[in-house]
Amino acid sequence: MPAHLDRALVWFRRDLRADDQAALYHALRSAKQVFCAFVLDRDILDALPRADRRVEFILGALQVLDEDLGKLGGALIVRHGFAADEIPRLVAELGAQAVFTNHDDEPQALMRDALVADLLKPLNAELRTFKDHVIFERGEVMTAAGGPYSVFTPYKNAWLRKVDEFYLSSYPVERHARALARTEFAKGVPTLEDIGFKPAGLTGHVGQGSPGAEALLDDFLDRVDQYDSKRDFPAVKGPSYLSVHLRFGTVSIRRLARIAHQLMQGGDHGAEIWLSELIWRDFYHQVMHHHPHAMTAAFRPEYDAIRWETGAEADALFAAWCEGRTGYPLVDAAMRQLNQTGYMHNRLRMVTASFLTKDLGIAWQRGEAYFAQQLLDFDLAANNGGWQWASSSGCDAQPYFRIFNPVSQSEKFDAQGRFIRRYCPELAELPAKTIHEPWARAPLQMQGSVYPRPIVDHAIARERTLARYAVVRR
């Protein structure tokens, strides 16, 4: 297909790779010269603490992306400012006729893109957007009646019926890379200090950019067949640990889904469960597209009538939860893992969310906001979906009367207390049979301990929760 544009700009966002990248591929096929840019958007960065692991991760990924584009003949322009200012300015400076970028369906991102599209019109340029972050998006998987799914299993079944080689195939960027162009505007990737940030202590296991994702994937594929049996145990190497790379697009979702789908077809049950988790990701993104109100309020409006705990006592309980001093070892270990590393095991995300909403009676929005602040892999659609699932207010959520017991969850998923001992070293000397409920089962050993007593009685809290949720049944 002959190029019909002289110059185009590819705007990278949550797709920080040069391989199998939809917007980059379409730009290369559409223009004689293609320039690449990323904006360190102050609309986002100015709201963050000055030490943020995600900013560190992004800068590392940008360095890799710049190197990869350089090998293909291009370069990465990095600007620090407001995207709505910087993208039109770059278009004018480069003489580009179109900006190619991939979809971002978060409500604020849609508003930003609409503004950028309007600002490009006086420059005789247009914004062209493409699907890249999920396998199926928006209205691609719908019910027989033409509406969006609100229950996961029917959505998953429809997803599996529709998926084929076309949807899982890669975009061959390298084949068309001759259109990539260099420019004097590409001056390398700034440092943390250049943009007013400080090191936050990014843990090494996540790796840097696409090579980091590649290393994690290689490691995971050696044990994916055990994913179904090991994924729920935080002391065990069960998950893929690729969530941050999916979030920032340093790995292609098409590649992961293709691998999982092929292994599943070969009878690998672990890969089948892994694919199901990737489908959950698509599911929550289509929920966000069709129900943007759910990003701030309950998906099921009747749950907005719940009266959550507020005031000084609730604030003190919330602080104890945030800081990992609730007196429930598994909850505390999970929150300390989050605070220290920016990561939390998925089973523990459910346990801690249930504890906040159903043991402490605190609104899910407060917990969602704290996770949004701390999680390295924070993704609005998935974070919101998980919190609404735990609080029973979302689509296909657990029933309101299903309340995780933090002690039994601990006994079941960290039976030997290995995970607890790692993040709650003050409990390290307790034997496995007492570590899950130390104040009840090891009162003598815990005398004088710095580890707190439980801030709430689970049995009493459960009754309060059932009463609190009664408003939904009326």
- Catalytically annotated residues: 277, 280, 308, 346, 364, 387
- Residue 344 and residue 383 in contact, taking contact as beta carbons nearer than 8 Å: no
CA distances from 171 to 104, 168, 175, 464 (A): 19, 10, 9, 53
Strands 76-81 and 98-102: unpaired
Nearest in space to 18 (alpha carbons), one of 218, 189, 249: 249
Q: Which has the closest alpha carbon to 257: 148, 142, 156?
A: 156
Between the alpha carbon of residue 275 and those of residues 54, 143, 236, 259, 424, the distances in Å are 26, 21, 20, 9, 33
Which candidate, 342, 254, 250, places its Cα nearest to that of 64? 250
Which residue from 203, 456, 212 is spatially nearest to 338, judged by alpha carbons? 203
What's the Cα-to-Cα distance from 233 to each of 195, 329, 417, rounded to whole Å?
39, 15, 11
Residue with tokens 């004088």: 448
Closest-CA residue to 13 (of 247, 199, 170): 247
Give Cβ neighbours of residue 1 (< 8 Å, ≥ 6 apart): 29
Backbone phi and psi for residue 304, each to the nearest 5 degrees, phi listed first = -70, -15
> For residue 227, which of 237, 217, 219 has the smallest C-alpha distance?
237
Q: Which residues are within 8 A (CB) of 118 and not within 5 positions of it... i.e. 6 or more apart? A: none
CA distance linking residue 294 with residue 299, whole number of Å: 5
Helix (H, G, I), strand (E, B) or coil at 436: coil
